[in-house]
Amino acid sequence: MSDEIKRLHAIVHGRVQGVSFRYYTTRKANELDIVGWVHNRKDGTVEVTAEGTQDKLEILEKWLHEGSPHAKVEEIYITWDDATGIFTDFQTIYFTDF
């Protein structure tokens, strides 16, 4: 088990908007004590930036491949980086300027 704090960035493709994907992602992140954000992008994808222990982020990553009950995840692009420590909680972002 790793206590190292990392950052996961994901772009999730498929039927991921209009299926409560952000809600369930926020719920899962809170369950795992992960901080960061999730939002819908204009191109129909969902973007996630999350910070937490490597182990917990790997659980979130695995969950993102399945998503919410009505989602159909087709592809995910994941990048890993060092955590910044700028987040205090996990939020759903409702603007789509990205």
d(CA 87, CA 93): 13
Question: In terms of pTM, does the model score above 0.85?
Answer: yes
Is 22 catalytic? The answer is: yes
| Active-site option among 22, 27, 30, 41 | 22
Give pLDDT tens digits for 29-73. Answer: 999 999 999 999 999 999 999 999 999 999 999 999 999 999 999
Can you list the domains of the chain with their CATH numbers? 5-93 (3.30.70.100)
| Active-site option among 15, 27, 30, 40 | 40
CB 37 within 8 A of CB 90: yes
User: What is the chain's mean pLDDT, rounded?
Assistant: 94
